[in-house]
Amino acid sequence: MATPGEVRRLETLTRARLSANFFLRDFLFSETAQIYGVRNLPDDPALAIEAGSRLCEELLEPLQATFGRLAIRSGYRSPEMNSLCNRLKLGCARNEYNFARHIWDRRDAKGHIGASASIIIPWVADRYAQGGSWQAIAWWIHDHLPYSELQFFPKLAAFNIGWHEKPRRSIYSYIPPRGYLTRPGMLGHDGNHAAEYAGYPVPSNRQATGRRST
């Protein structure tokens, strides 16, 4: 059982502010960790905060400023929790794949940092439920934000969005027909795709200015 001192240290860690509107605590909850009693906390908080801050500042803040509140479905995963999720076939890739993706406090095989989160944008989910395409928000992000990877899922048009210091710029869909919407080298990858998201708002000019803290 955790001691009061350990609880206080955990409270301090989870209050780390990653950007104007996001704190580390927003990304730590996991149903899998909760049910199986697995620790879902970073071993290297400084690296997790560094990577998570870039994810929030460069990708999530602009999305929230433009489309309204985001719902975080899955954020940081500890290696222990991700490994369990992978073994149980609950939708988590192997640990080595998720380094510098959902496992924020591990560098990838080339020594680079990154962070990913699974999110729902209610503004987009409502339009998707009414027959709108998931491709619209995919191309909007592709044209406006410095993302690394996007992966889209059938329920509520949820998607993984990743920041990486060496961005891959690829978009994959698990919504049938499964496959890549775009990646470097594919026809139509470069250029402007505004026709694909007609009626979508222009990026907000509001700037997130909250100070990060650790």
pLDDT tens, residue by residue, 178-205:
999 999 999 999 999 999 999 999 998 7
Report domain extents, the chain.
10-197
The average pLDDT across 101-124 equals 98
The average pLDDT across 16-26 equals 97
Query: How would residue 209 be classed by pLDDT, with cut points 50, 70 and 90?
Result: very low
Tally DSSP H helices, then E strands, for the chain: 8, 6
pLDDT value of residue 83: 95
Amino acid at 19: S
Element housing 124 (H / E): helix 122-129
Q: Decide if pLDDT at 206 tops 90.
A: no
Cα torsion angle, 184, 160, 163, 56, sign: positive
pLDDT value of residue 40: 93
pLDDT value of residue 213: 45
pLDDT value of residue 183: 97
Amino acid at 138: A
Q: For the segment 117-172, what is each residue's pLDDT rounded down to a tens digit?
A: 999 999 999 999 999 999 999 999 999 999 999 999 999 999 999 999 999 999 99
Helix 122-129, helix 135-144: angle, nearest 10 = 150
Beta-ladder partners of 149: 162, 170
pLDDT value of residue 131: 95
Distance CA 200, CA 214 (A): 36
pLDDT value of residue 214: 42
Q: For the segment 37-81, what is each residue's pLDDT rounded down to a tens digit?
A: 998 999 999 999 999 999 999 999 999 999 999 999 999 999 999
Query: How would residue 7 be classed by pLDDT, with cut points 50, 70 and 90?
Result: confident
pLDDT value of residue 208: 45
Q: Decide if pLDDT at 1 tops 90.
A: no
Tokens linked to 153: 């899922």
Beta-ladder partners of 115: 163
pLDDT value of residue 151: 98
63 within 8 A of 203, measured Cβ to Cβ:
no
